[in-house]
Amino acid sequence: MARLARLAGLARSLALYHGIPFRARRLARLYAPFLRPGALAFDVGAHAGNRVRAFRRLGARVVAVEPQPDFSRLIAAIYGRDPEVAIVTAAVGRAAGEATLLVAERTPTVTTLSREWAERAAGDASFRGVTWRPGPRVPVTTLDALIAAHGRPDFVKLDVEGFEAEALAGLSTAVAALSFEYVAAARDVALDCVDRLEGLGRYEYNWSPGETHALAAPAWLEPHAMRARLAALGPGGGSGDVYARLVQR
């Protein structure tokens, strides 16, 4: 039964991330200001590879980092022959090692390394019906190690289900631009991400709610304004991605 649920989850992710018309075009428009042809992107939490597709559409080189073995194999099946895509089957955290994934079989997009995040998310209406169970042990690398192996990225996409602040704790130098997920039920994770980035350099911020794939604010925000917006998220505030671009190291 678990295997059937996993196959159903894989099919769901494929339909969700590759089957919706015009999604790739919207993503390319969103990322175009950050990635020129030949730029380097890290897709951390690559899942089914739809961001890899958007980054390649822009002519960027991509390091796709995905800890779930079946999704890593899926990305390899699609991009394994592309010399501009490197695939790393690992999670990302503050230190190298190993960890146990908490897997949501039918909704594998919310698989996480954070038990605390899973417990808090379970109380949010948008996660109704999602259950997690201990999954495989997976290797954990760091952003610093990825930079040492592949070079400094022009853009980092972090979508690791409540482990974003832990991933940024493994980054010791500022990068030009990045995004990280926010979830209203655990908004302190996103606030910790802002704090971490401000320890590395001076950034300005914007955000993209839900799956709109567009920046919400007409002008980029100072850190205090982004913190205020995140802190004001109520229980029904949903999720989305915060975008940060470096102003000064």
When pLDDT is cut at 50, 70 and 90, the band that residue 163 belongs to is very high
Angle between helices 69-79 and 2-18 (to 10 degrees): 40
Query: Tens of pLDDT along 74-126?
Result: 999 999 999 999 999 999 999 999 999 999 877 888 899 999 998 888 777 77
**What's phi and psi for 174, nearest 5 deg?**
-70, 145
Q: Say what the pLDDT of residue 122 is.
A: 78
Looking at the predicted structure, is the pLDDT value of residue 185 above 90? no
Count of structural domains, the chain: 1
Q: Which residue has the higher pLDDT, 60 or 236?
A: 60
Give me the mean pLDDT over the 165-185 stretch. Answer: 96
CA distances from 62 to 1, 93, 153 (A): 35, 19, 9
β-partners of residue 98 are 139
Give per-residue pLDDT as tens, 114-155.
Answer: 999 988 887 777 787 788 999 999 999 999 999 999 999 999
CATH of the domain at 101: 3.40.50.150
Q: What mean pLDDT comes out for the span 176-186?
A: 94
Strands 61-65 and 40-44: parallel
Q: What pLDDT, on the 0 to 100 scale, is given for residue 107?
A: 82
CA dist 122 and 125 (Å) reads 8
Domain that holds residue 150: 2-248
Mean pLDDT, the chain, integer: 90
For residue 201, pLDDT beyond 90:
yes
Give the residue, 143 or 22, on which the prediction is more confident. 143
Query: What gap in Å lies between CA 67 and CA 89, rounded to an integer?
Result: 5
Residue 204 has pLDDT above 90, yes or no: yes
pLDDT, tens only, 37-74: 999 999 999 998 999 999 999 999 999 999 999 999 99
